[in-house]
Amino acid sequence: MNISIIGSGHVGLVTGACLAELGHCVVCVDNDEEKIEKLNRGEMPFYEPGLQEIVRFNFLEGRLRFSNSIAEGTRHGEVLFIAVGTPPKPTGEADLSAIERVCREIGANMTGYRVVVEKSTVPVQTGEWVARNLQKYAPTGLTFDVASVPEFLREGSAVHDFKHPDRIVIGVSSDRAAGLLVKIFEPLNAPILLTDIKSAELIKHSANAFLAMKISFINAVAHICEISGADVGKVAKGIGLDSRIGMEFLQPGIGFGGSCFPKDLSGFIAISQQLGYDFQLLKEVENINRLAREWAMSKLLHLLGGSLLGRTIGVLGLSFKPGTDDVRESPALWMIGDLLKMGAGVRACDPVSIENARQILGDSVEYFQDPYEACTGVDALLITTEWSVFRELNLLHLKSVMKTPIVVDGRNLFEPFRMKEIGFQYAGVGRAALGQEVRG
């Protein structure tokens, strides 16, 4: 089937390449000409494990090509996936202006029946708005359908997540659109939930909000563990073994970041408010997420005698999670901003995200590819992203290069008991205050 993807970012490019992998003939469109030129040279615009291989293979096989023309994409694909950004406005509500521009171009260039699919995360009831926009610009008498097929891809495992989805959600309002979309996704052998467009839109917002809520819940429990002397790792395991709760997304730390959870939470709160529901629960999820960073900062301040002025802090991790070079809404960058405001110097390390971080932080921070170099001479170390390269550090060597062996472990990479044995002043998240060995 001929398919076009409008918007070749983390979602669109992965979706397009994986659909080509399934045998479809795909055109990926983007208005960033430099990105299209890079893709035509087989270079990826961002780091995503496994993506470059399937892009290059399908490009060479002639099943995948790139364009900066929505008109071309509209002529090519019977099914058009809109995967452009829907960033939050200052009010928190989703900015749909990119989608509006795309609808105008699609509408004006449709030459026959099309299914126009919302792949971007959009507030509930957007489908009706998309249909109105398309109708405004489409040639009279031309038929089309709108659909919502939300994605559940995680950065750093997006190719895997596309190929092995827990479910495919297809929100449609016609059998014709349903037939085409089921045909596209059936080969993935995953449960297909056929529903209406509004429910599909709400499934996406609800899924991300629920996952973010799980993270904030365990971060709140971690705080209580520290005060009470319990161990959050044991508590998370104890509740996660209940199949109704599950072990996933119960890893405490300095909170969630990324281009999705923060944006989708604020978008869900905003649309709920517009519909007349004050989503207090999600506002608290946001508050706890901010407190998780502040709690880690207070530990650092405590261990450094109450002031960071003139101190040098090592920061291990810039990306919002391991496996990606994406630093959007990264807790690491939020905390570095606070460190700089408090007069500290920062020596930061990340395997793949330094250039993206430099675009935001500039040269206010020193950047190192090597973690030991980053930690040389520092007054304290703040661990912000759980890259495996940090987990495998030689702790005796690390201690030897630091000025003072103080570690605030924002992602619980290390065991408190072991750290204290080596001679670190160590603070994790939700771990037993005295670092007693919690065996078994």
In terms of CB distance, is 21 or 151 closer to ligand UDX? 151
CA distances from 194 to 53, 148, 263 (A): 32, 10, 26
In terms of CB distance, is 134 or 270 closer to ligand UDX? 270
Mark the segment that binds ligand UDX (CB under 6 A) among 17-25, 177-185, 246-254, 422-430: 246-254
Mark the segment that binds ligand UDX (CB under 6 A) among 88-96, 102-110, 245-253, 429-437: 245-253
Mark the segment that binds ligand UDX (CB under 6 A) among 31-39, 112-120, 151-159, 354-362: 151-159
Site for ligand UDX in 321-350 (CB under 6 A): 321
Q: Does 251 bind ligand UDX (CB under 6 A)?
A: yes
How big is the CA angle at 413 (ends 407 and 417), to the nearest 5 degrees? 70
Of the listed 28, 103, 225, 260, which one is catalytic?
Answer: 260
Q: Does 249 bind ligand UDX (CB under 6 A)?
A: yes
Q: Cβ contacts of residue 254 below 8 Å, gap of 6+?
A: 292, 293, 296, 331, 332, 335, 384, 410, 411, 429
In terms of CB distance, is 332 or 349 closer to ligand UDX? 332
Q: Does 165 bind ligand UDX (CB under 6 A)?
A: no
* Cα distance between the two ends of the chain: 54
Residue 269 near residue 282 (C-beta atoms within 8 A): yes
Which runs of E-coded beta strand occur in 19-110?
25-29, 64-67, 79-82
In terms of CB distance, is 162 or 426 closer to ligand UDX? 162
3-class SS of residue 156: coil
* String of contacts with ligand UDX for each residue 256-275, x by CB under 6 A: xxx-xx--------------
CA distance 374 to 385: 15
Q: What are 271's two structure tokens? A: 């649309």
In terms of CB distance, is 105 or 350 closer to ligand UDX? 350
Q: Does 151 bind ligand UDX (CB under 6 A)?
A: yes
Q: Does 47 bind ligand UDX (CB under 6 A)?
A: no
Q: Which amino acid is at 183?
A: K
Mark the segment that binds ligand UDX (CB under 6 A) among 27-35, 183-191, 208-216, 294-302: 208-216
Please tell me the count of residues contacting ligand UDX according to CB under 6 A: 19
CA distances from 74 to 23, 109, 182, 240, 318 (A): 19, 6, 20, 46, 38
In terms of CB distance, is 331 or 371 closer to ligand UDX? 331
In terms of CB distance, is 110 or 270 closer to ligand UDX? 270
In terms of CB distance, is 11 or 178 closer to ligand UDX? 11
Q: Does 295 bind ligand UDX (CB under 6 A)?
A: no
Mark the segment that binds ligand UDX (CB under 6 A) among 21-29, 45-53, 251-259, 358-366: 251-259
Facing residues of 81 across strands?
A: 5, 117
Instruction: Pick one of 6, 26, 70, 153: the residue that binds ligand UDX (CB under 6 A).
Output: 153
Task: Supply the minimum distance, in Å, between the C-beta of residue 151 and ligand UDX.
Answer: 6
Task: Supply the minimum distance, in Å, between the C-beta of residue 177 and ligand UDX.
Answer: 22
Gyration radius from the chain CA atoms: 24
CA distance 215 to 275: 26
Q: Does 197 bind ligand UDX (CB under 6 A)?
A: no
Mark the segment that binds ligand UDX (CB under 6 A) among 76-84, 148-156, 224-232, 415-423: 148-156
Q: Does 152 bind ligand UDX (CB under 6 A)?
A: yes
CA distances from 251 to 254, 257, 359, 411, 412 (A): 10, 14, 29, 8, 9
Residue 25 annotated among the catalytic residues of the structure: no
> Number of H helices and number of E strands within the chain?
18, 14
Query: Among candidates 247, 171, 185, which has minimal Cα distance to 214?
Result: 247
The Cβ-side half-sphere exposure at 221, using a 13 Å CA radius, reads: 19
Active site residues: 260
Q: Which residues contact ligand UDX (rule: CB under 6 A)?
A: 151-155, 208, 211, 215, 249-251, 253, 256-258, 260-261, 320-321
